[in-house]
Amino acid sequence: MNRRDTLKAMGIAALGATTGTGNVQGAESRKKEKTKKGDIYLGMCVGHYKSEGLNRARRVEKLARTGFKYVNSCSFQKPAPDHEWRELKRVVQDCGIVPVQCGSGIAPWGEFDPAEGDKRLDAVKPYLDKCADIGNKLICMLPPVWHEDLPFEVSWGTSIEWTRQYAALCKERGLAITCEIEPERDYITCRFGDAVRWIEQINCDNFFMNVDTGHLCLWKFRPEWLRKYSEMVVHTHLSENDGRKHQSWTLGTGTTNHAGYFKSLVEGGFIENAKKHGIPPVACMEFYIPGHNKSTFDEELKTSMDWVKQHLPYMKLS
């Protein structure tokens, strides 16, 4: 039985670009709301901010001087001494930064022996404590991969049970989770519809979807399809590519329909949903300099910010 047949037998139908528009066209229509300036905050990912010779705390300071208030990746994914965590927390507080989302601190399910699941959960607890102490509100979790030694349906079910345990650890610390929906085929949820079903079956009140506009572009996902799922979303990423390869280009240099996606998100209730859960509605930029581009990263950052100001004028820094 191939992957599609397995999903069908489990009652998991793919949605979106892989199955046409039927599932979305039948959705109840919503009253359109005009997107107003200031409805969404523009953020920047510290991990994507490439400033040579600066540690994470200094990069946060530099982003604050640029005007950013909302920042992702205020954490250390790799082990770091306590004094670096304390310095990062001090800078966040001194600069008035709102740390929104940080990494999970744990490998995706399926990249380790499932028998080590409990051990992995115990090991991540100190990291989650520090993320919460700094003020992060969200954990960005990568979806599970299909474990090569297990049938797909077993990987699906076991990953859900393990993720529920991880979600419980986060909830104990006041943290919510957003699952980063990735387009690569190794992930169980590499198709948008699979991701929706997986999140629904986890059924945890602190578990949500993270929408990345560049990923939607790779799926050839139509903006109007997104409206139906907006209430599952509490956080977003702005990334850019040409619709063919997973890249993170300077905003405006690819083919991603950012304006269309955010129009649907707003009409679908993304802003209200984020606020309802105590999370600021943020679109966080994620990009690297393309290999052929000779500009500095700060120049590319300004280019991206100028592009957002022109094409997504309702987004503001603070």
**pTM, entire model:** 0.85
| pLDDT of 153 higher than 60 | yes
| Domain range summary for the chain, segments of one domain joined by + | 37-316
pLDDT at 288: 74
Query: 290: pLDDT confidence band, cut at 50, 70 and 90?
Result: low
| pLDDT of 28 higher than 50 | no
Q: What is the pLDDT of residues 263-275, one digit of tens each?
A: 999 999 999 999 9
| Residues in contact with 132: Cβ distance below 8 Å, sequence separation at least 6, in sequence order | 173, 174, 175
The residue-averaged pLDDT of 241-270 equals: 92
| pLDDT of 8 higher than 50 | no
Q: What is the pLDDT of residues 47-98, one digit of tens each?
A: 888 776 789 999 999 999 999 999 999 999 888 999 999 999 999 999 999 9
Query: 191: pLDDT confidence band, cut at 50, 70 and 90?
Result: confident
CATH topology of domain 37-316: TIM Barrel (3.20.20)
Contact 184, 222 (CB under 8 A): no
71 three-state secondary structure? strand
Strand partners, 284: 43, 237
